[in-house]
Amino acid sequence: MASTERRMVVRRWTRRDVVKGGALAGAGLALVGSGAVRVGGRAGAQENYRIAFIQGVIGDNFYITMDCGAQAKAAELGVTVETQGPERFEAPLQTPILNAVVQDAPDAIFLAPNDTRAMIAPIQAAIDAGIPVFCVDTTIESDIQIADISTDNVEGGRLAARGLAEAIGETGKVFVINVRPGISTTDQREQGFAEEIANYPNIEYLGQEYCENDANRAAEIASARLQAEPDLAGIFGTNLFAAQGGAAGVRQSGKQGAVKMVGFDAGPTQVQDLTSEVVDILIAQHPGEIGELAVQMIVDYLNSGEEPAETQITTGATIVTRETLDDPEVSRYLYVADCADYVPGAAATPGATPAATPSA
C-alpha cells in the first residue's frame, strides 16, 4: 500500500470493553462504535429497551417456543423483543439479518448463531457498533459475547443414548441422523450420545450422517440406512428436523416398533410421532426457559452495565415417553406452535446451571 493512502484504524471490542462501557453509561454516556459516545446511557433506571432476537431458523417450534418465553418475560419487564430469523439454518442467510439489525441499533441482541466460526465476525461487528450480544441455544468459538444460555447438550445426548439403549434391550446396531458439522448444539449431542453408547458392549454404533436441517433429507437417510442395515435396532435424531425426518423414514419403511427412534426436541409433530408409536422417546429441551432467562439477563445487564457473575448458563432437558406425556411436570416442556399456548414458567436463577433432568 502506498504511503500516501489513508488508513483506517478500527478497534475491535471485546466483551470486557462493552462492560467497561457500562461505567460511562452510568454517567449518562454510552459507547458507540470505535470510541464515540452518545448521550443517554443504558445503565441506571430501567427503560423500555428494544431487544432484537435472531432465531436460528424461522418456523422451528423450538425457536417459536423460545420466542414465546422471551415475549412473556419482555411483557413482564416492560421491554420490547423484536424477532426474526433466516428461512434455513445457514450462516450466509443469518449474517445479512444480523447486519441489518445492527444498522437498526437495538439496545441489545440475542441470537442463535448458525455456525461456530462463520458468525464470529458478524457478531464482532455488532459489538464494534456498541451493541451487547448474548448467544442462546448455539454459540461461537469465541468469548466476545456477554453470555451463553443453552441446553446442556452433551448431557442431552447422553440421555438419548441411555433411553435408546434401554428401548432396544442394550443390544443391536444404532445410528445417528445429525444436522451438519459446525453447529455447537448438535455436535455436542452426538458427542454425548457416542460417549454414552460406548458404555454398552452389545451395542454397535454405526456413526452419523448429516441431513442439512432438512426433514426430507433425514427421511431419505433413514430409509437408505434401513435398507442397508435391515437389522438396525435404533436411530437418534439430533434436532427437530432430523427427528421428524427420521421418524418419517421409519414409517415409510414399515419398521414401526422394530426400530426404536429417539428424537431430540418435542414439537407438535414429534409428539404426534410419539403417540402414534413411530418415535419411542423424545428429549425435550426447555426453550421457553432459555428465552425467559435471556431477556432477564439482558435487562439486568442494560440496567447495571455489569457483566453477569455466571456467563455460561445451561438449562435442563426432560425425557418424554408415551407413559409420561400427560404428566404436568413433563407436558410443560412440550413446544408450542403459537404463543397463545405458552405458559410462562419460573426461569432458573442465572447463577445456577441445572443438570439435564430425566423425567422417566
Please report the pLDDT score of residue 240 as a whole number: 83
Pick from 102-111, 317-326, 343-352 the range whose average pLDDT is largest: 102-111
| Direct distance between the N- and C-terminal alpha carbons of the chain, in angstroms, rounded to an integer | 66
Q: Is the pLDDT of residue 341 over 60?
A: yes
Q: Is residue 6 part of a domain?
A: no
Task: Establish if 9 belongs to a structural domain.
Answer: no
Q: What is the 3-state secondary structure (H, E, C) of 95-126?
A: HHHHHHHHHHCCCEEEECCCCCCCCHHHHHHH
DSSP 355: P
Query: For residue 43, is pLDDT > 60?
Result: no
Which of 27-36, 187-196, 254-263 is predicted most confidently?
187-196
Paired sense of beta strands 36-39 and 29-32, if any: antiparallel
What is the model's pLDDT at position 54? 98
Q: What are phi and psi of 4, to 5 degrees?
A: -80, -10
Residue 16 has pLDDT above 60, yes or no: no
Do both 98 and 109 map to the same domain? yes
How far is Cα 313 from Cα 136, in angstroms, rounded to an integer?
A: 9
191/308 same-domain check: no
Check residue 277 and give left, alpha or beta (phi > 0: left; psi -120 to 50: alpha): left
C-alpha cell at 135: 448467544
**Listed residue (78, 83, 49) closest to 68, CA to CA:** 83
User: Mean pLDDT: which of 22-31, 140-149, 270-279, 348-357 is highest?
Assistant: 140-149
Q: Are residues 278 and 291 in the same domain?
A: no
User: How confident is the model at residue 91, as a pLDDT?
Assistant: 96
Say whether both 252 and 176 belong to one domain. Answer: yes
What cell does 129 get? 457498533
Give the dihedral sign, CA 111/184/288/77: negative
Asked which of 11-25, 109-123, 189-203, 238-252 is least confident by mean pLDDT, the reply is: 11-25
Among residues of the chain, what percentage have pLDDT more than 90? 76
pLDDT for position 174 = 98
Asked if 158 and 140 sit in the same domain, the reply is no
Which band of pLDDT confidence, cut at 50, 70 and 90, is reported for residue 22? very low
Residue 337, in any domain of the structure:
no
Comparing 21-25, 82-86, 227-231, 282-286, the range with the smallest average pLDDT is 21-25
Q: How much is the pLDDT for 241?
A: 87
The domain boundary, picked from 245, 269, 285, lies at 285
Looking at residue 46, its pLDDT comes to 64
Model confidence over 328-337: pLDDT tens digits?
999 999 999 9
Please check whether residue 87 lies inside any domain of the structure: yes
Same domain, 294 and 259: no
Residues 173 and 237 placed together within one structural domain of the fold: yes
The Cβ of residue 93 has, within 10 Å, a number of other Cβ atoms equal to: 14
pLDDT in tens, 172-204: 999 999 999 989 899 999 999 999 999 999 999
Number of domains into which the chain is organized: 2
Note down the domain range covering 94.
15-145+287-315
Q: Report the range of poorest mean pLDDT among 22-36, 239-253, 287-301.
A: 22-36
Predicted TM-score of the model (pTM) = 0.78
Residue 32: predicted pLDDT: 31
